Amino acid sequence: MPAVTPVLKTHPCIHKREEPVVRAGDLPYPSALVFNAGVIRYRGEYVMIFRNDYGTDKTAYENENKRFTGTSVGIARSKIGVDGWRFDPKPLMDSNDPEKDPEMRRLYDPRIIEIEGRLYLCLAMDTRHGIRGCIAELSEDLLSYRIISASVPENRNMVLFPEKIGGEFVRLERPMPVYSRGRDRFDIWLSRSPDLVYWGRSALVLGVENVPWANDKIGPTASPIKTERGWLTLFHAVDREEDRGKNGWEPQWKKRYTAGLALLDLNDPSKVLSVYKEPLIAPDLPVETDEGFRENVIFPCGMLLEESGEVRIYYGASDTCVCLATAQLDDLLALLD
Ligand code: BMA
């Protein structure tokens, strides 16, 4: 496979686990790509909620033009959050559910967070009339959900802060203003809410032009972590070159997704205190660069701070499997002067 240029490297403070933590063959139901997973610690174990695209495979996709027939969102639990995942027997959500709202095509890219003892999911919702960012409340047993808020199109990549700030719920989000900004010049925004249903007082957080290696778009990834210096915040950053070749199952894949790092003000997270000027995580393992549906994609949806001071970053690799990277909190904060 041709190398993707310009070369972007993972920062040395990041330790990547070489093998994926979850992949398609692990699931007890139809599955082709398992990726973009949110993770929390909940009632003594780790809960992962992941995206699963199904209905084809590499050979059928490339040789018979057979496309995916569905997207589901499923749940897995593990005592240690690395291996030993136990999968629920069926998905929580499925685009082929005959009872789903006919307007809705699918839900995907789930992020999970516990706020004040309740569980919430942020999801992208493709509908017949555009992409909506939505928030769902998840039952305590993780077996059912209720959508409580859905934005107007076009918006997605929502993540909730883990606590109220100034008495309000706060989310990061990524609207897609194609008409006014030109194609794929997308930025990170923030909105506030008294109740998680009504959202407003929106503000720009970070423009794509402030991320030196991104020439395309940026977006939120996982719920930020509270530190003494500010909200430790990951984001995804996309660079695109027209001459990039096949890079996966599709005839051409021109983009590369990396993860970047920023620090947001504790009391007003629309204020950026610092952005690390290089990527934090770039695709460089074989599973990230040479295999998978869309190569060179790092797409984190979960970030956890362990008692030891280790930060765990769960990310989708190549839109194909779930991988895990770790770093020490102090090392990450040292990048944000
Ligand atoms: C984004 C989303 C993600 C995906 C990424 C790379 O637009 O659709 O689910 O991981 O593209 O394909």
CATH number of the domain at 184, please: 2.115.10.20
In the reported structure, the alpha carbon of residue 24 is separated from the centroid of ligand 1 by a whole-number distance in angstroms of 17
Choice among 2-11, 234-243, 252-261 with the minimum mean pLDDT: 2-11
Q: Is the CB of 294 under 6 A from ligand 1?
A: yes
164 burial class (0-12, 13-18, 19+ CB within 10 angstroms)? middle
Residue 283 lies in a domain: yes
Angle at 270 between CA 267 and CA 275, to 5 degrees: 105
The share of the chain scoring above pLDDT 70, in percent, equals 99
Residue-wise pLDDT for 156-191, tens only, equals 999 999 999 999 999 999 999 988 887 789 999 999
What is the average pLDDT across 273-285? 98
- Ligand 1 contact, 316 CB (< 6 A): yes
Could you tell me if residue 2 is inside a domain? no
Q: Distance of CA 9 to CAs 5, 77, 232, 258, 334, Å?
A: 11, 32, 21, 9, 18
Looking at 85-208, which runs of residues are DSSP E strands?
86-87, 93-94, 104-115, 118-127, 130-138, 145-150, 155-160, 169-175, 188-193, 200-206
User: Ligand 1 test: best mutation among 132, 249, 294, most atoms within 8 Å of CB?
Assistant: 294
Q: State the closest ligand 1 atom to the C-alpha of 297, by its place in the atom list counted from 1.
A: 6
Number of domains forming the structure of the chain? 1
75-80 contacts at long range (C-beta below 8 A, 24 or more positions apart): 75/47, 75/48, 75/49, 75/50, 75/142, 76/22, 76/26, 76/47, 76/48, 76/50, 77/45, 77/46, 77/47, 77/48, 78/45, 78/46, 78/48, 79/44, 79/45, 79/46, 80/46
pTM above 0.95, yes or no: yes
Q: Are 87 and 40 in contact (CB under 8 A)?
A: no
Place of tokens 């495979």: 57
Beta bridge pairs of residue 151: none
Any domain includes 324: yes
**What is the Cα–Cα distance from 161 to 169, expressed in whole angstroms?**
7
Mean pLDDT over residues 252-279, rounded? 98
Q: Cα(77) to centroid of ligand 1, in Å?
A: 24
Residue 222 confidence (pLDDT): 98
**Is 279 within a domain?**
yes
Cβ of 297 closer than 6 Å to ligand 1, yes or no, is yes
Residue 49 has pLDDT above 60, yes or no: yes
Instruction: Ligand 1 pocket test: pick from 156, 257, 258, 323 the residue with the most ligand atoms within 8 Å of its Cβ.
Output: 257
Q: Please, are residues 213 and 8 in contact by the beta-carbon 8 Å criterion?
A: yes
- Ligand 1 mean position, distance from CA 50 (Å): 13
Helix, strand or coil, per DSSP, at residue 276: coil
Q: Quick one: which atom of ligand 1 is closest to the CA of 109?
A: 9
Asked whether residue 220 is assigned to any structural domain, the reply reads yes
Confidence class for position 2, pLDDT limits 50, 70, 90: very low
Is 253's C-beta closer than 6 angstroms to any atom of ligand 1?
no
> Would you state the pLDDT for residue 182?
73
Q: Is 214 inside a domain boundary?
A: yes
- Ligand 1 lined by 109 (C-beta under 6 Å): yes
Cα 279 from Cα 10, distance rounded (Å): 7
Is the Cβ–Cβ distance between 110 and 129 less than 8 Å? Answer: no
Give the whole-angstrom CA distance, residue 232 versus residue 212: 19
Ligand 1: centre distance to CA 296 (Å) = 11
Residue 288, Cβ density class (10 Å: 0-12 exposed, 13-18 middle, ≥19 buried):
buried
Give the pLDDT score at 254.
97
Taking all residues of the chain, what is their mean pLDDT, rounded to a whole number? 97
pLDDT in tens, 103-117: 999 999 999 999 999
Kindly report the protein residue whose alpha carbon is nearest to atom 9 of ligand 1: 109
Query: Rounded CA gap, 258 and 222, in Å?
Result: 14
Write down the pLDDT at residue 3.
67
Please state, in angstroms and rounded to a whole number, the distance separating the CA atoms of residues 124 and 107: 6
C-alpha of residue 317 to centroid of ligand 1, in Å: 11
Residue 1 scores a pLDDT above 70: no
Is residue 8 a part of any domain in this protein? no
Determine if ligand 1 sits within 6 Å of the CB of residue 283.
Answer: no
Q: Is 194 helix (H, G, I), strand (E, B) or coil?
A: coil
Question: Which SS3 state, helix, strand or coil, does residue 144 take?
Answer: coil
Residue range(s) defining the domain that contains residue 278: 15-334
Q: Which of 35, 131, 235, 297 best tests ligand 1's pocket when mutated (most atoms within 8 Å of CB)?
A: 297
Q: What is the largest CA-CA distance in the chain?
A: 55
- Does 5 map to a domain? no
DSSP 12: T
